[in-house]
Structure formats: C-alpha cells, structure tokens
Structure 1
Amino acid sequence: MRIRGRGRAAGVALAATALVALAGCGGGSGGSGAAQPSGQAQGGTLTVFAAASLTGTFGELEKRFEAANPGTDVTLNFAGSSTLAQQIDQGAPADVFASADQNNMKKVTDAGNAQGEPQIFATNTLQIAVGPDNPKQIASLQDLTKPGLRTVVCAPQVPCGAATQKVEQAAGVDITPVSEEQDVKAVLQKVTTGNADAGLVYRTDVAASNGQARGVDVPQASQAVNQYPIAVLKNARDADLARRWVEFVTGDEGRQVLTAAGFGTP
C-alpha cells in the first residue's frame, strides 16, 4: 500500500478542528472543482483500491490531486482486481475502486457495495513482454508454445489472465505457463528479473518498464480489450471527496496522464 502525506498529519488535524468550529457557527459549503474542495473534502483522506496496472498513472494522479486539494491525503492500494474486489466485498475500508475489467467491478456492484453506475475511464490490451534484446527471438503467440520456453501469465480470475485466455482462443494456441501470477506486475517482474523468457502483460506495463522489457505485439489482442471502470464505494468515508477523485481521473487531466502511459480512451 502506498501512503503519502504522513508528515502533514498534524496540519490535517488542525484543519479538521477549524472546520468543525466553522460548522458550529453555521458556515456554508464552498464551491466545486478539483482545486476548490468543499469544506468536508478539504483536509480529508481518501483510500483508493486500484488494479496493479494503474500503479504508475494513479501515482502521478495522486500527486496532482493532492497539489490541487491542499491538505488532502490519498492512499493507493494496488493489487489484482479480483483480490481487491474480494477485499471490498469482505468489508475492507476503501472509498474508490478502479478495476482492470468489468467482471470484477460487477462483483462489487452486485454485492451492493458501490454508489451509482461505474464509469469506464480507460482501455488496455496485451503484449508479449520479453527481455530488452529478446534473446529467444519471440515474435508471436505460437512461439510461446515452444518446448523449454518459460512463459508466465496472470491467473484466470485476474483481468490480464482472462484476456490471455481470449487471445489464446483467438490465435488457436494453448500456452502452458510455468506460473500463473495474481497481478500483471508480478508477471512483468518475472520477465525483467530473468525468471521467465516471456510473459503476457498489458502494453502499458511494458511501456512503464523503463527499457527493462520489450513488447511484442499480438494481433489477437484487439479481440480482448479490457475496459477499466471506476466507482465510489458504498461505505466511502467522504463520498464528496471520493466523487471528486473519480471526476479527476475521468476528466481532462486524468485522461492526459492515462493516454501518455499508453492507455486507450473509452
């Protein structure tokens, strides 16, 4: 879990005390917009559960959101979407959920743990991740079936794992992986550390690897496009602040950051 802003704890507490005092005097609420939070949102804390593939982009958006909302502290919890959905449905404290697919978001909405309809804010597709020099000369999904080749994929319940199964079916291949990981970052790590020859990950993860991995395009990936939904959760501690984060992610600045990282638009 990534937590920023611990050093501001004392300031946040003082701000909260001042706000309570103002409320007792009958003070009204402020305006709207990311840079002008309402009285309750200012100085608030926000816990966002997000798919592992959003690590880099949401980390950047966290900095920008906190800068635009002084006193606000955003905590980001990254993991596989299936793991996060299960945690939310079991009562884990979270304000916003951003999933890498609609199936895991549906688990949360079906359980009545989201407010309103989730919004699709990005899309993503798979690539084959290999070492920077592609020592095994991998050029297609068919190459991943070669004897002795160590391929790693996401587990089937994870969005990147479900997408992997779709592209295998579309290509008519049957990959036998050496391991199935619980999130896409774990797959990429196996490749970048030399513990695997190849792995099926999102193209955004290859782009974020800082040259530690090379991406091999998969034509069939267009038949397994993952849509990313985001929603405010039912038990959000500050629903107004949570909605502001969702608006920030789905707005112009959020789209700019996501597009720069290689995500597609809805």
Structure 2
Amino acid sequence: MSYLPTRIAAAAAAGTVLLAGCGSTSSSPATNTGTNTSAATGKKTVTVLAAASLTEAFKKIADEVMKQHPDLDIKISFGASSTLATQLNNGVDADIIALADEKSKTTITPSLIEGKPTQLFATNRLEIATPSGNPAHVTGLASLSSSSIDTVLCAKQVPCGRAAQTVLTKANVNPHVISYETDVKATLAKVKTGDADAAIVYQTDVSSAGSAVTGVVIPEDQNTVTKLPIVQLTDTEGAKEFYQAVTSSEGQDVLKSLGFGAA
C-alpha cells in the first residue's frame, strides 16, 4: 500500500510546507490525550511525540496521511527527545514516539516499548549555524573557541547537545558558550535572531531555516552521525498508518529531501 504519493515527495523536495489539518504541532509538552475519537469531529485521534528536528518532515507526512485517511486527526507534539521520553515514562498516552537518537530510546521504561514495532528510520549530522551572512566569520569548529564568538548549544542531556559534545571533543575545541537551550529549534532560534554568533545544530535544521541562517559545514572526520528510532506504541489503525508512512519509501523520500540520511 502506498502512503505518500510521488507528488508529495516532489513537493517536499521543492520545500513546500503542508500544514493543513495537522493537529497540535507545538514544541510544548504533550498532554494525556492518547488515541480516541473526537465527539466533535468523529475523527480518530493519533497522538505522536516527535523530536524537534523532525518538525518539517513529520508535518508533511502527517498532512498526506490525513489526506488519504480523512477519518484520522494526527496531533504531533514536538520537543526535546529527553522530555518526550520522560513524558512517556510518566504516563502520557501516545500512539507513536520518534526520537533524535538511540540513547533517548534507552531512557524509556522497557515495558512501554517491549515487543512494539520499532525501526531506525533516518540519520542526521551536525552543522554550524550562523546568522545570515555569517557576520562573525566563523570558519569551523576551531572558531568557536574564540571569546569573541558567542556560541549556543543544545542542553547536554538532549540528543543535539550530546552530539555537539562529541564533535567538540573530537576536534579538541572548548567553545565560548553563552547558553544551553532546551532543544535544537530553540538553539537555532538564538542564531536566527542574532542573539548568538554560532550554534551547533543538525544539518537538517540549517537547511530548513533557508536564508535566515548561513551554514558552516563540519568535516566528516570531526562530525558524528545520529540514528533516529521510531516506535509504534499502540496497535490502532491510525498508529499503523503513520508508522508505515514514515518508514515507507515515499516517507523516506520526504526525509531525504529535507536533508536526513538513510538509516
């Protein structure tokens, strides 16, 4: 069964953002909503917890799934993977959880995901983001050690923060950090607004920001690769549809168009 037609993969490649019909897509913590049928619309709710770095990709995929299945209402809560794992451990109902790295999955109570359909569905790498035009003339990781370069990083307990520490250690760089942010989107925002000279984020986030930022590539020998897992937590039809849409070849095309690598 095809979940994401070729036209959607093409639209994603062109950078078209399809938001219509997506439910909750904020980065605020999810509430105990779970899978249910809305009395107002009669639609079946599919609750998805997803890493902030998946914002653009999952909005596109959710939009197409709802077009093909108008009886579904997909509600996505984006945030730091560490926060999402904690929410799940604390009893938040969800049908799907997708995280930014494998370590985040290990923090979920094993009984909650044991025997559930699970797959590594994408990879990501890091890149330095600077304000548009790179006014501080950042040339690479070594530049970040200068006291004149204000750098922001993701909090150390979230995937992009862990990955940043890995590349900085590998490059033997001690950056001048002015703040640690809650997730990758909050980290990128500091650069977009000009409140920081540089940030280490995912290359997919630099790509999605377009002309609002200028990226500085981190060489492969200094970089690191994160692998993203997705878990289907419930056996509802809506959960199956979304899980299969993400892991299908068409879903992979959407992810690839936004800069993600194959798992």
Using the size of structure 1 for normalisation, the TM-score is 0.81
Number of aligned positions between the proteins: 229
Residue 235 (structure 2) pairs with residue 245 (structure 1): no
Aligned to 1:263: 260
> Partner of 1:3 in structure 2?
23
Q: Is the 8 A contact 1:132 1:214 kept in 2?
A: yes
Aligned to 1:208: 208
Percent identity for Structure 1 against Structure 2: 39
State the partner residue of 1:197: 197
What's the counterpart of residue 100 of structure 2?
A: 100
**How much does 1:252 deviate?**
1.5
Whether the aligned pair in 2 keeps the contact of 1:128 and 1:199 (CA below 8 Å) is yes
Are the equivalent residues in 2 in contact too, given 1:11–1:71 (CA < 8 A)? no
Structure 1 segment 160-171 matched on structure 2, within 5 A: 160-171=160-171
Q: Tell me whether 1:254 sits opposite 2:255 in the alignment.
A: no
User: Runs in 1 of length 4+ with deviation above 3 angstroms?
Assistant: 8-12, 220-223
**Offset at 1:111?**
3.0
Larger Rg: 1
Equivalents in 1 of 2:191, 2:255: separation in Å?
24
CA shift at 1:219, angstroms? Answer: 1.1
Residues 87-116 of structure 1 show CA distances to partners (whole Å, capped at 9, x for unaligned) of 1001112111000000111222x4311242
Q: State the Cα distance separating 1:144 from its structure 2 match.
A: 0.5
* Local SS of the residue matching 2:164: helix
- Residue 221 to residue 126, structure 1, CA distance change in 2 (3 Å): farther
Instruction: Return the offset for 1:117.
Output: 4.9
1:47 matches 2:47: yes
Compute the TM-score of the two structures, normalised by the length of structure 2: 0.82
Q: Distance in 2 between matches of 1:175 and 1:106?
A: 29
Q: What value does the CA root-mean-square deviation take over the aligned residues?
A: 1.8
For structure 2, the residue ranges without an aligned partner over 5 or more in a row are: 1-21, 25-36
1:168/1:12 CA distance change after superposition, 3 Å: same
- The equivalent of 1:85 in structure 2 is 85
Which residue in the other structure is 1:182 paired with?
Answer: 182
